[in-house]
Amino acid sequence: MKTAGYILLVLLLGSCNAIRVNYDYDKATDFSNYTTFNYYSDMDTGLSELDNKRLFRVLDIALQSKGLVFSEEPDFLINIQSNTFQTPRNSNVGLGVGGGGGNVGGGVSIGIPVGRPNLERQIQFDFVDNQKDMLFWQAVSESSFKEDASPLEREQKLKEIVEKVLSKYPPKTRK
């Protein structure tokens, strides 16, 4: 029974820090045509300047590990947008008073929020064909965000996000 409790605790803690990613792409795209990349020059990511540098560094390394090359005349351009938002508090303490007897009942309950609201960050990655100016692949990630994270923690979190986002690029074609 203790083991089940520990497993449940690990799952709960792990789910709090999960990175969720939704993918979409044009199924008619031949991804082998895309070997070089660059970023939109006028891109406003919504991230701080330091987080921009961290994200671009991590993304460059990840894309190059997939055989893609950074180029001034790329096959595709990358656009990144992000926003931070608060999720509702999940933890509540309930205080209740009730009574009943003789098939009559009644009660009063008050929910008191505990802790701070959770901060989440959504980052959207758009891959756009440079010649056709057409979106061909997109990933949208959502994960927890700590405003007071250290620079090392921030870079590690961005690395985890990029790894998860690019884990399904290029998409596997089904025959």
Task: For each of the domains in the chain, give its residue range(s) and CATH number, in order of start.
Answer: 17-85+119-166 (3.30.160.670)
Q: Is 103 exposed, middle or buried (0-12, 13-18, 19+ CB in 10 A)?
A: exposed
Token duo for residue 125? 């990655």
Range with the lowest mean pLDDT among 94-98, 114-118, 146-150, 155-159?
A: 94-98
Distance CA 57, CA 59 (A): 6
pTM value is: 0.75
Residue 13: pLDDT band with limits 50, 70, 90: very low
| Mean pLDDT of the residues in the chain | 84
pLDDT digits (tens, 9 = 90+) for 18-63: 999 999 999 999 999 999 999 999 999 999 999 999 999 999 999 9
Predicted confidence at residue 12, as pLDDT, reads 46
Residue 85's pLDDT is 83
pLDDT of residue 10: 46
92 pLDDT more than 60 = no
Q: Select from 96, 152, 142 the least CA-distant residue to 119.
A: 142
